[in-house]
Structure 1
Amino acid sequence: MPHNTTLGRAGEQRAVQHLESRGFCVVDRNWRCTEGEIDIVAIAEGILAIVEVKTRTSTRYGHPLEALDEAKVSRLWRIGFAWARAHVDVARGRDLRVDAISVCGPDPATADLEHLAGLR
């Protein structure tokens, strides 16, 4: 398996642990549709969070969250609405939110983690 795939999976697992430690329940991972992919779908109380995870070993080429431009965030919203339509039973009554989590450091298990909630 390529290093970047292994790194990405480790970063996503760290993000899942972070979300669960804050009361979220992860209900889906790596969900795909014609628009693209959602890394993590998590729920907590009245929130349905669509979570994009960016994992890097360093900031040598910029902070991981710098990869989230306006077009990417708009696409995440579209994919989030697609997920909600496909999973009405889970989504009903919850506010949709797009979040981003960066995991940055040589070892994802101990790397710096930053969680931005409510991207627009």
Structure 2
Amino acid sequence: MNARGALGRYGEDLAARKLALAGMTVLERNWRCREGEIDIVATDRDALVVCEVKTRRAGHYEHPMAAVTRRKSERLRRLASRWLAECWLERHGGVPPGGVRIDLVGVLLPLRGAPVVEHVRGVA
């Protein structure tokens, strides 16, 4: 794994921990299909949550939350629909009662100190 991959994996580990501490259940990580990848799929009570994780080092890069553009949001909605059709419906037979939500977890790694992990619900 290269340095960028290791950074992303570390951020996803922190994000999964943050979601679990918030009472969510992580169902799957790094689900892939031809159209792309979902970083984390979880449940939050009766809602299905597709979660995008963006990790950045502090410095000259944009804030992690700024990395989700309109185009990325549209792609996440398509991926959520695909995961729902291919994975959820087979197991549960219907749409989750709480619907589907797309969240973002931004992880900022400062030069010193603990990582800053922000979870924003319903971004797309």
Q: Which TM-score applies when normalising by structure 2?
A: 0.88
CA positional deviation for 1:94? 3.7
**Number of the residue aligned with 1:79:** 79
Contact 1:59–1:104 (CA<8 Å) still a contact in 2?
A: no
**Number of the residue aligned with 1:23:** 23
Q: Which runs of 4+ in 1 moved over 2 A?
A: 89-94
**Number of the residue aligned with 2:103:** 99
Bigger Rg, structure 1 or 2: 2
Contact 2:105–2:120 (CA<8 Å) still a contact in 1?
A: yes
**Number of the residue aligned with 1:110:** 114
The more displaced of 53-62 and 78-87 is 53-62
Aligned to 1:81, what secondary structure does the other structure show?
helix
Aligned to 2:43, what secondary structure does the other structure show?
strand
| Structure 2 runs not aligned, ≥5 long | none
Contact 2:46–2:98 (CA<8 Å) still a contact in 1?
A: yes
**Number of the residue aligned with 1:2:** 2
Counting matched residue pairs gives 119
Equivalent residue runs for 1:23-102 within 5 Å: 23-87=23-87, 88=89, 89-90=91-92, 92-102=96-106
| Structure 1 runs not aligned, ≥5 long | none
Distance between the aligned counterparts of 1:11 and 1:61, measured in 2?
16
Distance between the aligned counterparts of 2:12 and 2:76, measured in 1?
16
For residue 115 of structure 2, what is the amino acid of its counterpart? A
CA positional deviation for 1:2? 1.1
> For each residue in 1:43-66, what CA deviation from the matched residue of structure 2 results, as whole angstroms up to 9, or x when unmatched?
021111100000011141210121
Backbone CA RMSD of aligned residues? 1.7
Distance between the aligned counterparts of 1:118 and 1:63, measured in 2?
18
For residue 115 of structure 1, what is the amino acid of its counterpart? H
> For each residue in 1:23-48, what CA deviation from the matched residue of structure 2 results, as whole angstroms up to 9, or x when unmatched?
11100110011211000000021111
